[in-house]
């Protein structure tokens, strides 16, 4: 995922215009992005101040603005990273394995993400709920195409009788909804049930319950 800093092919012509960047230049950007994610995901774009983010990242406001020209630009950069992470599990949805196995694996991957990257999930949620004027193109382009590809696979499974008939879109939406619920609505889950995904026992029980629910919906009686 980390991009190489492009080095000039031949160092003979000109002495390698080596990055004079401060050794930790890239590390600082990451610090800022992390701080931005933390703040944006908990108080939103408008609720977070540049100064607050800078403080959390351990530098001055002015210095932050040196790395990112404006708050909006930083926000976009944070969102972009989040989107990549968010898309990852769906890309890994495996069309070649058994349907039951593919769904089981996908559900576990999404819930793992909800456990390990809840801030990313929440920021994504905030952005979508508010209308995502910024993410719209991404959703209508890459995401839509990706979903369509997976939906085709699911439909073919259905046609082969390997799973019961079900609308692929609704199926995918349901899995997204349930798995992300445990990250996005964590405080509600905690308030109502007193549990958190950080508790390994609870995590496994959520994985199992979700898998059971979806597989049952597919007409695949889970053998348990």
Binding region for a second copy (CB under 8 A): 42-47, 122, 125-126, 128-132, 136, 139-140, 143-144, 147, 166-167, 169-170, 173-174, 176-178, 180-182, 184-185, 187-189, 191-193, 195, 205-206, 209-210, 212-214, 216-217, 219
How many residues in the shown chain lie near DNA by CB under 7 A?
24
Ranges within 62-81 binding DNA (CB under 7 A) = 62-63, 65-67, 69-72
Q: Nearest 10 degrees: CA dihedral of 55, 56, 57, 58?
A: 50
Q: CA angle, corner 220, sides to 195 and 98, nearest 5?
A: 95
Number of residues written out for the chain: 224
**CA-only gyration radius of the chain, Å:** 21
Q: Residues 1, 2, 4, 15: which binds DNA (CB under 7 A)?
A: 15
Q: Residues 21, 80, 136, 169: which binds DNA (CB under 7 A)?
A: 21
- Cβ proximity to DNA, 71 vs 108, nearer residue: 71
**112/120 Cα distance (integer angstroms):** 12
CB atoms within 10 A of CB 198: 11
**45/135 Cα distance (integer angstroms):** 14
Residue ranges binding DNA (CB under 7 A): 15, 18, 20-23, 25, 28, 48-51, 59-63, 65-67, 69-72
């Amino acid at each position: 995922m980390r991009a190489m800093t492009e080095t000039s092919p031949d160092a003979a012509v000109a002495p390698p215009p080596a990055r004079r960047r401060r050794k930790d230049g890239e590390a600082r950007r990451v610090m800022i992005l992390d701080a931005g994610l933390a703040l944006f995901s908990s108080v939103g774009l408008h609720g977070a101040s540049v100064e607050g983010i800078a403080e959390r990242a351990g530098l001055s406001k002015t210095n932050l603005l040196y790395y990112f020209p404006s708050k909006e630009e930083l926000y976009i950069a944070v969102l972009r990273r989040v989107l990549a992470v968010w898309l990852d599990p769906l890309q890994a949805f495996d069309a070649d394995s058994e349907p039951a196995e593919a769904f089981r694996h996908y559900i576990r991957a999404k819930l793992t993400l909800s456990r390990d990257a809840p801030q990313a999930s929440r920021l994504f949620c905030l952005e979508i709920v508010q209308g995502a004027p910024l993410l719209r193109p991404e959703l209508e382009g890459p995401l839509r195409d990706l979903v369509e590809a997976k939906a085709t696979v699911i439909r073919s499974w259905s046609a082969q009788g390997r799973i019961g008939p079900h609308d692929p879109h609704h199926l995918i939406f349901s899995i997204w909804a349930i798995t992300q619920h445990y990250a996005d609505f964590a405080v509600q889950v905690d308030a109502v049930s007193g549990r958190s995904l950080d508790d390994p026992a609870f995590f496994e029980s959520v994985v199992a319950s979700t898998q059971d629910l979806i597989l049952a919906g597919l007409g695949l009686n889970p053998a348990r």
